[in-house]
Amino acid sequence: MNRAIKQKADVKIIPRAAKIVAADQMPGAGKIAERMKEIIELLGEDTNREGLIKTPGRYEKAMRYLMSGYEQRLEDIVNGALFSVECDEMVIVKNIEFFSMCEHHMLPFFGKVHIAYLPKDKVIGLSKLPRIVDMFARRMQLQERMTHQIAEAVAQVVSPRGVGVLSEAQHFCMMMRGVEKQHSGAVTSTMLGAFRKQKATRDEFLSLVR
């Protein structure tokens, strides 16, 4: 199995206050824009023409947003939204849209994530699951790793009897360059606990998200 798929949810621990620092006040602010200006010029463009004067700054602002998952903490996202409940049936949130950035070519990939878990003695607020997806999607990623990280994070927070995560995505690195296949898609899954051990549980999950 690919080493990257085995990684635990790598939640970066930083002070909570860092999440509200404006992009132009962050450490190294402006350096990405400087490098992007150089890249645009190396590609043969004139960075002084009207349409490109502000492009490097816009690019830095966009990249800091698209990579903002590195600055989030799982505990802040959950924010105590765990509730004791007598429930032993499957909980599913499906069709969670996401956008991420392929770490190989720095091109986007996008699609949907389906998350299911079997509660043991508590459930998580439903809106927290899409936020967990965004935390791992907004960074340089592999779809395989992202799927596994989401599953591990849900297992870490909820301590359920099992977790299943299915990701479906289209990759611009396959659509815009390389093989240039416009209608191909990638599907990855991670099954933990009962979802891995029990075929009936796994089959129920897969049938409900299709």
- Give the span between the Cα atoms of 171 and 62, in whole angstroms: 19
Catalytic residue among 34, 38, 41, 103: 103
Which residue, 47, 134, 25, 125, is CA-closest to 80?
Answer: 125
- Give the span between the Cα atoms of 209 and 182, in whole angstroms: 24
- Give the span between the Cα atoms of 210 and 195, in whole angstroms: 16
Coil, helix or strand at residue 157: helix
Angle, CA of 118, 121 and 125, to the nearest 5°:
70
Catalytic residue among 7, 71, 105, 156: 105
Verify whether residue 143 is a known catalytic residue: yes
Coil, helix or strand at residue 188: strand
Catalytic residue among 87, 173, 198, 204: 173
CA–centroid distance for 40 within its chain: 28
- Specify whether the CB–CB gap between 143 and 186 falls below 8 A: yes
Verify whether residue 148 is a known catalytic residue: no
Catalytic residue among 102, 148, 149, 152: 102
Verify whether residue 114 is a known catalytic residue: no
- Give the span between the Cα atoms of 73 and 45, in whole angstroms: 39
- Give the span between the Cα atoms of 68 and 205, in whole angstroms: 30
Tokens of 96: 């969670």
Catalytic residue among 72, 141, 143, 149: 143
Verify whether residue 170 is a known catalytic residue: no
Verify whether residue 183 is a known catalytic residue: no
Catalytic residue among 34, 38, 97, 104: 104
Residues with active-site annotation: 102-105, 143, 171, 173
